Structure 1
């Protein structure tokens, strides 16, 4: 028992110290954008999510099937799971509504589930019950699409990295990525502890009481989450995301550093100083460079303890470390019928995608394994696998 405790402590310290390696400038310059896959009408990733998808409806199930098809056809090495729960809601007339969380996991080959720590990339995929016909592009179709593109972009690099190390590096062989696309985040009537976060509450509760084998490094699936990176309300222009939690400010600083480097390299398309925008201006003088993540230098005594209610809450209450990427103030389209594909700022959407990809690749230490120019995209045909 003493040895197991010492090993767990060593793994935790070692992971925090070595979990993040900067990408080179050349790699940052070659991070792939989503291109036509994010076209709001025909894009293979984003367009199928831009529809009403209230929990328990056909639209919700269709979007979940889109996730399954994507991973089955393009990312077959990822393990897919569905987490099911039911609950009544204030508008269900006493009937049980199904909530289905989509989970995709990529662990090192041959590893045991209880011995892998994971970066969790998280967004909710349901849409709001009202107003009727609400799409929820920033809330949260675009974040779901971002995560899917990131997963596809790093998949081959993960394979190469694990093959190259050949089981001789403990940290490498016990570190994976998990995607949680959660159902039932939205309140059906008025946000309360009971009418919101349906899928997240059920999953966090179940994972708290699901135990790995006794010899495992991590006691439960919750313990295996090294960082819960939650994306929400992303896709409107000029976002400002503060650092909410002192305990994960170190991770926020890493992402803020990646953003600063991307901006200095001229790779942020929403920047007023991007080459495409500068070319259209008569006055070529550089303008002030606003940052998505402006609090990289936030002092420890500046954390006041406030945060935004979202899917992370049931996980945070159980001790999971959270990096919440949500703007403050909320975008003007929040919970309005105009939160649709036409009101997305696509330069901002692409910039968030590039930034989250850089953070994920650096977290997973993928420098030297990302070779986008030579990799061929897998067939995007529909999967024969259908969700229940």
Structure 2
């Protein structure tokens, strides 16, 4: 991505839905990533901490990591690939392959073109220079955050939709918008420029996918005319994982969504769930709460404030130009390691990575109305009694 001059604000009027606020208990019981973000052997993050230049073995390895994750961990998600090729300033007449991975989970009764979707998006490629560049914040860590969120809400989605089907909602053709909402993950290739950022040397995968989806028609009786129309909100994560991030609210049209996420952040912090916070229980030295620096500090931003949508060029641009609503989660200022060889695993702040994953999970759970369906942690005594009961029954 690069910084550019502001573009005209694009996007439809927000299709904000009446999502159920998560209870304090649910927020306290959000799944922990455990060691999944360990930079040496974490199952989600470590395989991505390699150079991932499009068309190279590293890119293939990252894509294989994603596919294995969904096939083995989240088999109810539908995987599709969108392929394209293009020449680059460094390839001469040779065409470089770009592969976008799309993972989708819709309600089981939703037919093609019927479900609106929350799209969680990050690019998985890395820059060709400097040699050996990994791009941990840019965007290995964001990809791992999205994987964690998907895994964390998957069982709750199944439980919710099974309950709804048992009540006859899907089979009776219920037409409520909430009942036709799914989740889609876009892991995009070719975001980085090969030489110098221009409108043709950047966003290779995003440009190809947005153009293809613009001209792909759903069945004539569909609620949404094209796959682009079905995206209710395009949540793009980029340059996340460094300590003390600050993410502004870039778009007036989606400030309502930014506010929802900011409110969730405030509640998680108040409940002592943010590991990077000075008020996290293991870090507190007294009874008084310290002032905290918010990841999302502009929840109270007013309409007459400055909106920088489009100022930072990124994978959202081809979608925004086609009317898709964008929530851009990118740190400003950029991390100090941006586009340097130091953007590696050792320079990630893992507490911050975990907090972003926790916040994203909560936001998605609220969007999908999963209150009451998320699993609850058992107390150690209750878990012990449960194990003893199991042994007795056996």
Structure 1 partner of 2:141: 142
How far the C-alpha of 1:373 sits from its partner, in A, is 3.5
Conserved? CA contact 1:74–1:152, under 8 Å: yes
Structure 2 partner of 1:68: 67
Matched, 1:330 2:334: yes
Structure 2 partner of 1:290: 293
User: How many Å separate the matches in 1 of 2:122 and 2:47?
Assistant: 16
Conserved? CA contact 2:216–2:226, under 8 Å: yes
User: How many Å separate the matches in 2 of 1:70 and 1:23?
Assistant: 27
* 1:130-163 Cα distance to aligned partner (Å, 9 max, x none): 0000010000000000000110110010011111
Matched, 1:192 2:198: yes
How far the C-alpha of 1:17 sits from its partner, in A, is 3.5
Which stretches in structure 2 are left out of the alignment for 5+ residues?
A: 1-11, 379-394
User: How many Å separate the matches in 1 of 2:344 and 2:253?
Assistant: 34
User: How many Å separate the matches in 2 of 1:305 and 1:293?
Assistant: 15
Match of 2:187 among 174, 181, 186: 181
> Counterparts in 2 of 1:47-126, with a 5 A limit?
47-126=46-125
> Counterparts in 2 of 1:306-317, with a 5 A limit?
306=309, 307-317=311-321
Conserved? CA contact 1:258–1:359, under 8 Å: yes
Q: Secondary structure at the match of 1:262?
A: helix
How far the C-alpha of 1:37 sits from its partner, in A, is 1.2
Instruction: Please tell me the root mean square deviation across aligned C-alpha atoms, in Å.
Output: 1.5
How far the C-alpha of 1:273 sits from its partner, in A, is 1.5
How far the C-alpha of 1:52 sits from its partner, in A, is 0.3
Conserved? CA contact 1:162–1:172, under 8 Å: no
Structure 2 partner of 1:385: none
* 1:102-129 Cα distance to aligned partner (Å, 9 max, x none): 1100000021120100000000000011
Conserved? CA contact 1:15–1:171, under 8 Å: no
How far the C-alpha of 1:35 sits from its partner, in A, is 1.1
Q: Secondary structure at the match of 1:38?
A: coil
Structure 1 partner of 2:276: 270
How far the C-alpha of 1:286 sits from its partner, in A, is 3.2
Matched, 1:360 2:359: no
Aligned residue-pair number: 359
Matched, 1:29 2:35: no
Structure 2 partner of 1:16: 16
Structure 1 partner of 2:352: 348
User: How many Å separate the matches in 2 of 1:229 and 1:46?
Assistant: 20
User: How many Å separate the matches in 2 of 1:103 and 1:69?
Assistant: 14
How far the C-alpha of 1:236 sits from its partner, in A, is 0.3
* 1:336-376 Cα distance to aligned partner (Å, 9 max, x none): 101001110001000000000000000000000001547xx
User: How many Å separate the matches in 2 of 1:121 and 1:365?
Assistant: 17
Structure 2 partner of 1:165: 164
State the TM-score, normalized to the length of structure 2.
0.89
User: How many Å separate the matches in 2 of 1:304 and 1:231?
Assistant: 18
Conserved? CA contact 1:246–1:303, under 8 Å: no
Matched, 1:303 2:309: no
* 1:208-263 Cα distance to aligned partner (Å, 9 max, x none): 00000111010000000000000000000000000000000000000000000001
Matched, 1:370 2:364: no
Q: Secondary structure at the match of 1:37?
A: coil
* 1:296-330 Cα distance to aligned partner (Å, 9 max, x none): 00000113444310000000000000000001100
Conserved? CA contact 2:241–2:348, under 8 Å: yes
* Structure 2 CA distance for partners of 1:246 and 1:14, relative to 1, 3 Å: closer
